[in-house]
Every structure is written in C-alpha cells, then in structure tokens.
Amino acid sequence: MSNKKKGCNAERELIHLFWNNDWSAIRIAGSGSSHYPSADILASNIKKLISIEVKITKKKNKYFTQKEIDDFRQFSSRFGALPYIAIRFPRTKWYFLKLDQIPKKTQNYAISENLAKKKGIGFDELIKGI
C-alpha cells in the first residue's frame, strides 16, 4: 500500500472515530498539495473546533520542519481551531499532541515514540478534555 493510501486510511479511521463519538469531522481535500496553509482534518463538537495533522510512521521519530509547524499553526488560527498532531507508531494507539509539546531539535521539530507516550493524550481524553 502506498504511503498516500496509508495516510488516507489513517485519516478515515479518525473521521469514523469522531462521528462514532458524537463529534463531526471532515477530511480536507488536497491538504498535501494545495499551496495554501492547511491541515488533514477539522473536527467539531459544536462548542469546539480542532484541526489535526495526521501522521503514521514506522520509525522511532517523526520530524516536522519549522514551515510545516508555522503553516499548521497559522491555518488553525485563521479557522479558530485548536491544532493537534495525531500520531501513531507501530503497534501503538493514536496519540494527540499540542504544538507547544513538540520539542525543537537543531533545525526540525521531532516527536519520538517515548514523547508521544509521555506527553500525548489518547482519543478518549482528547474528546472529553475539550
């Protein structure tokens, strides 16, 4: 399966999770190809709107450039949405992290599996805590 297809499936899995838990959620078209700042998912429970970048990785760390973080933050701010990174490592559940929980290492930001487990919250906590 291509990485794009895997990413799409991961996004759909989260979309279903939201709808099954009384949230509404949509996938954003062309989020990887549009030249405007974007995100992968917007989800709402009427009271709150959150924006999500979805990452699945087989590696120990997932890296983000300053531009990726800046664009995502800017997009979220313009939509009045609270930005989260949703990340899943091999054989882990989904972890959700706020942007200010992601440390900068030299040039790039990085989420390690350990960081995700230590600082991230699970889906249930995400939708209950907002």
Can you tell me which of 66, 77, 92, 114 binds a copy of itself, judged by CB under 8 A?
Answer: 77
Distances in Å between the Cα of 27 and the Cα atoms of 44, 51, 75 are 12, 10, 15
Give Cβ neighbours of residue 124 (< 8 Å, ≥ 6 apart). none
| Edge-first strand listing for the sheet containing 108-112 | 61-64, 108-112, 104-105
Can you tell me which of 37, 50, 56, 94 binds a copy of itself, judged by CB under 8 A?
Answer: 37
CB of 41 to a copy of itself, least distance (A): 10
CB of 104 to a copy of itself, least distance (A): 26
Please report whether residue 73 would count as binding a copy of itself according to CB under 8 A.
Answer: no
Is 24 a known active-site residue? no
Catalytic site residues? Answer: 31
